[in-house]
Structure 1
Amino acid sequence: MVVREIDKLMLSGLSVITNNENEKDTETAKIVQLWEDYQDKNILGATFNKSKNFDMYGVYSDYASDVNGDYKVTVAVEVTKPKNAIVIKDQRYLVFSKKGELPDIVIDCWKEIWDYFANESEYKRAYTIDFEKYSKEDEIEIYISIL
């Protein structure tokens, strides 16, 4: 893991509200369906002002509290204008990376993050905007906002 500063990043896409308790049960989980809806409804094709960057993002924002509260999840791409976008500005991140097969690497990476912050860690989560970055089919980077 490394610390990175994001000066400005604008992301736009399709969102739902959920929490980690709901995501543990396939009956109440919403994130998998959100990714399917993003593809099925061709949200990428309907997104205005897309950047030339073709990375996909899973964005976690609007935290009600902490790891136990509700949050908004957005499947997104980078855009060039702030209208209807999630704007990340001047934020420090602790970045966790994994390579391997999807979705296993996503689950493994989040377990590593939860374990890291559950113990006495050097950094504290800010619970502002966190995101998963998918640049390659077999690689993920998860950016966790830190104080």
Structure 2
Amino acid sequence: MTATITFPAPTSVQIPAFSVAGISVRTRNSEEMNPAIARLGGLWNRFFSQSWERQLPSRGDDGRIFGVYSAYESNEHGAFDVTAGVAVAEPHLAQAVPGAHRVDIEAGDYLVFTGEGDMPQMVIDTWMRIWHYFADNPQVQRRFGTDFEAYEGPGKVSIHVGVVL
């Protein structure tokens, strides 16, 4: 007899628009599966080693760090941008920091998937759950506008995936 692992169902939330500033890379999921060309690990290493969370002006008050997925070429198989950053209260000031990139989170409906555990595996596992969820629920359509990871603390993430309701 095999054990069945159950995960909490995603919650549906309405998110108002907000902005995140930080540093970005363009990648695709197929590239991230190959350690020789993967870019996300390097993005996050650079974000923390260069203390980007402290360099950005007018940071949002909640102190969370975000990973924002945007500028989708098509769907989960196409290229997209990933920005590691923090919410900014005054988005126009982000351009004052050399190398900073600003992305605007779209207002709308999001499904929220949570993960806990050791980094980075828990984020990878949570995204695997997300892909399985959408494969098993074809009636739920992703928007492919902006999606984001909100890091709630060490080893805890909430991944917000934009959907069309």
Matched with 2:97 is: none
Which deviations, in whole Å up to 9, do the C-alpha atoms of 1:68-110 show, x marking residues without a partner? Answer: 1000000010110122532224211000012222222111100
- What is the alpha-carbon distance in structure 1 between the residues aligned to residue 103 and residue 112 of structure 2? 19
1:13 aligns with 2:26: no
Which deviations, in whole Å up to 9, do the C-alpha atoms of 1:52-76 show, x marking residues without a partner? Answer: 2111111100000001100000001
Q: How many pairs were matched up?
A: 147
Structure 1 residue runs without a partner (length 5+): none
**Alpha-carbon spacing, 1:135–1:120, altered in 2? closer, same or farther (3 Å):** closer
- What is the alpha-carbon distance in structure 1 between the residues aligned to residue 133 and residue 17 of structure 2? 26
1:134 to 128, 142, 151: 151
Given residue 96 of structure 1, which amino acid in structure 2 is its aligned partner? F
Larger radius of gyration: 2
Runs of 4+ in 1 over 4 A off after TM superposition: none
- What is the alpha-carbon distance in structure 2 between the residues aligned to residue 125 and residue 32 of structure 1? 25
Structure 2 residue runs without a partner (length 5+): 1-9, 95-101
Contact 2:83-2:103 within 8 A present in 1 as well = no
Matched with 1:82 is: 91
Contact 2:28-2:80 within 8 A present in 1 as well = yes
Comparing 127-136 and 35-44, the one that deviates more: 35-44
- What is the alpha-carbon distance in structure 2 between the residues aligned to residue 89 and residue 20 of structure 1? 22
Identity over the aligned pairs, expressed in percent? Answer: 30
- What is the alpha-carbon distance in structure 2 between the residues aligned to residue 63 and residue 82 of structure 1? 21
Matched with 1:101 is: 118
Given residue 38 of structure 2, which amino acid in structure 1 is its aligned partner? A
1:47 to 56, 60, 74: 56
Aligned alpha-carbon RMSD (Å): 1.3
- What is the alpha-carbon distance in structure 2 between the residues aligned to residue 57 and residue 98 of structure 1? 14
- What is the alpha-carbon distance in structure 2 between the residues aligned to residue 101 and residue 117 of structure 1? 24
TM-score normalised by L of structure 2: 0.84
Comparing 32-41 and 44-53, the one that deviates more: 44-53
- What is the alpha-carbon distance in structure 1 between the residues aligned to residue 106 and residue 80 of structure 2? 19
- What is the alpha-carbon distance in structure 1 between the residues aligned to residue 14 and residue 28 of structure 2? 26
Given residue 67 of structure 1, which amino acid in structure 2 is its aligned partner? E
Contact 2:106-2:145 within 8 A present in 1 as well = no
- What is the alpha-carbon distance in structure 2 between the residues aligned to residue 145 and residue 123 of structure 1? 10
By how many angstroms is 1:40 displaced?
A: 2.0
Secondary structure in 2 matching 1:131: strand
